[in-house]
Amino acid sequence: MSPLPEAELVRSAVQLYRYLLRCCRRLPRGPVQQHYRHAIRQSFKVHADEDDPERIQQIIKRAIEDADWVMNK
């Protein structure tokens, strides 16, 4: 599976969250999809207090790379 085409448009945490949940919809239904949805929510809760713009961009970049890896797996 290839990543969704809007990956290059992700600039904010909310956009990233929506992008990752859309990626989850393309995964097989059931435990796999539930696992990744839960992991996405947990990651956003962990990083909710991040306020450094440079660090936020690093997190966004890494999350998109990880999503691409999962989608190709």
* Rama region for 50: left / alpha / beta (φ>0; ψ in -120 to 50; rest): beta
Range of the domain at 15: 7-72
List CB contacts of 32: < 8 A, sequence separation 6 or more: none
The mean-pLDDT minimum among 2-6, 29-33, 44-48, 52-56 falls in 2-6
Task: For residues 29 and 15, give the distance between their C-alpha atoms in angstroms, rounded to a whole number.
Answer: 23
Predicted confidence at residue 6, as pLDDT, reads: 72
Is the overall model pTM greater than 0.85, yes or no? no
Give the DSSP letter of residue 5.
G
Residue 2 lies in a domain: no
pLDDT per position as a tens digit, 25-48 = 999 899 999 999 999 999 999 999
Residue 45 lies in a domain: yes
Total domains in the fold of the chain: 1
